[in-house]
Structure 1
């Protein structure tokens, strides 16, 4: 069975694996070398070029997960996003950002973009007419997140990819919150998909990595950018990421189930003012999630009825989730995103993160234990 025809759980385990396995080893080995012998006329195997054996093995697995022709891994999610933007934007070029974005991306698209001469317009994720109004002759790309961080919204992704395609713009989407288990943006027409593989793709909070997938031509352009700037992924980290991916489907399904259960519980609790999770019928983007997603993701956000003070007390009262800013791991995590944005006003304006917003990343713990923990914390 080819990678393209295998279902997701099978792709996660078998995609990119050489058959017969090298040296008979079922586990692909780590090649720690930084330079490899090449034939005359061939590109040299060199770590910074992202073409060493362990890196290329990982790239094959990543591309198969997203249903793409090619992939390149980087040293972090922000390295992946920065590499894509540096590839497709030059000084004077314009990019439309549809919807809210992760804080680090926001800083890149405000403070750093100004220094680089990029022009950036933050627009609604839902209004093609607004995209048309802000379009300029120098517009080169559109950028969005499949589920926005941290407001948990799902924009009109199908219209956005079509808008870009009709106008010859590069369409870029950060798919970290969904993972390819839940959503594969290339199937909706997006050119390039980015991930912070530090999150769910690895899933064990012990690797920093990023991913870009797309057509062979576009990914090669991004790879040339990473070769120049040097955010290559170490072979040991590449090995750990590939190992983590093998359980991706199992982990994400459990995380989705836990997030759904917690969201339903919180939405019915008198001490919770609002819950944002696409799996809830009352979520404004529920219909889009049902149409495009296979699940609703592991991330939810909520606002306690008691405001900021109640949010801080609740986080302290919970026993299972770690109070930490990341997401997508086997351990549940909880954080107040606005606290992490202090001192970074440049990225708060476009995102509009309320002070009392709490973000919860569901892990793979027993569902009833998580619900019991929220019950004791809210009762307390």
Structure 2
């Protein structure tokens, strides 16, 4: 099912599903095997990403992002690194627009030079900075839909257009938004990456990633995955495909919860700053309101009193788990500085809203703040 008029909730359940399913199944079965007999040509093989459970998941992922095809990966980092390897060679230059997820930032800092890549970090909302960063060997632009953990929304439409106008491959990490909130391909991005460990799966029980795009670009991504052995295990593919069925319901509840908590914190005298694009005071609220369907499930904030106050607040919360992930059905909270982000304030707290009742989450924050 790929009708553009189909609403996302329906697409999440039926998009990419074979009709009828194997032996009449409604739920596509798990193919755990690693070796298959070939009638002609190459047989399905797990490292190539051609196990039937892997391929089924990839059809589902492509449908949700509105792409020609997809590659499922062993983790979100496998997705972003394979995507970068597919568009960059020795001597090439990357424009990286944003303060990135810690793993992406560490990969560039520790491995780009060894691979022969140069890169510049630029403001995702400043097209002049992108132009200044251009070099003769600039080959790609990488950004995030919502930056993690600084929670900014760059000029996404402008970034895709800038890349196209200058012959660059455009890559975007859509993990924090999910295709429920924003679909990058229709505005012109070439490759869309996800840590599917997070909201796409939504149940904090697998590691997975995804890259979506055109068939030609995904074939290059798949070649990298095959070389590095980074394809997704079929059982994880089965679980992720199951998780996608409830994606729209989960994300919409998480978005509502995040907005409720953000509004409460923004009005509290013990909170110095709240970063959430659903708030009218957020510097990127206009962009988010124009392009997004919802504002995401993740916010960050700074309490009055600095790092010690941040530690005390995290410890005083009863519902969110103190854990460094996001996008699951359980609310999570973490001190970002302790999670490998040295370039952000040491009192910054990241909150990932789960699917609990919004009133209960707000009440928990109230008691943690001494109300």
8 Å CA contact 1:73, 1:212 repeated in 2: yes
Q: Does 1:197 pair with 2:196?
A: yes
- Classify the secondary structure of the residue corresponding to 2:241: helix
Is 24-33 or 243-252 further displaced after alignment?
24-33
Residue 151 of structure 1 aligns with which residue?
150
Q: Does 1:265 pair with 2:264?
A: yes
Residue 111 of structure 1 aligns with which residue?
110
- Classify the secondary structure of the residue corresponding to 1:150: coil
Residue 372 of structure 1 aligns with which residue?
363
- What are the within-5 Å matches in structure 2 for residues 179-258 of structure 1? 179-258=178-257
Residue 36 of structure 1 aligns with which residue?
36
Residue 17 of structure 2 aligns with which residue?
17
348, 352, 362: which one pairs with 2:353?
A: 362
Is 21-30 or 235-244 further displaced after alignment?
21-30
Is 278-287 or 43-52 further displaced after alignment?
43-52
- What are the within-5 Å matches in structure 2 for residues 1-380 of structure 1? 2-40=2-40, 42-341=41-340, 348=342, 352-379=343-370
8 Å CA contact 2:2, 2:63 repeated in 1: no
CA shift for structure 1 position 13 = 0.6
Matches of 1:256 and 1:340, distance apart in 2: 23
8 Å CA contact 1:205, 1:329 repeated in 2: yes
1:42-81 deviation per Cα after TM superposition (whole angstroms, max 9, x unaligned): 3321101101111111001000000000001000000000
Residue 344 of structure 1 aligns with which residue?
none
Is 330-339 or 83-92 further displaced after alignment?
83-92
Matches of 1:219 and 1:6, distance apart in 2: 25
CA shift for structure 1 position 5 = 3.7
8 Å CA contact 1:4, 1:64 repeated in 2: no
Aligned residues: 371
- Classify the secondary structure of the residue corresponding to 1:32: coil
Matches of 1:192 and 1:64, distance apart in 2: 14
CA shift for structure 1 position 233 = 0.7
Matches of 1:240 and 1:98, distance apart in 2: 33
8 Å CA contact 1:170, 1:191 repeated in 2: yes
- Classify the secondary structure of the residue corresponding to 1:45: coil
> TM-score scaled by structure 1?
0.96
CA shift for structure 1 position 4 = 4.2
Matches of 1:126 and 1:251, distance apart in 2: 29
> TM-score scaled by structure 2?
0.98
- Classify the secondary structure of the residue corresponding to 1:82: helix
CA shift for structure 1 position 39 = 3.0
1:251-310 deviation per Cα after TM superposition (whole angstroms, max 9, x unaligned): 000000000000000000000000000000000000000111000000000000111111
8 Å CA contact 2:48, 2:231 repeated in 1: yes
1:172-192 deviation per Cα after TM superposition (whole angstroms, max 9, x unaligned): 000000000000011111000
1:83-107 deviation per Cα after TM superposition (whole angstroms, max 9, x unaligned): 0111111111100001110011001
Is 2-11 or 125-134 further displaced after alignment?
2-11
CA shift for structure 1 position 3 = 4.9
- Classify the secondary structure of the residue corresponding to 1:51: coil
CA shift for structure 1 position 218 = 0.6
8 Å CA contact 1:110, 1:120 repeated in 2: no
CA shift for structure 1 position 134 = 1.3
Structure 2: 5+ residue runs without aligned partners? none
CA shift for structure 1 position 221 = 1.0
Matches of 1:263 and 1:213, distance apart in 2: 31
- Classify the secondary structure of the residue corresponding to 1:114: coil
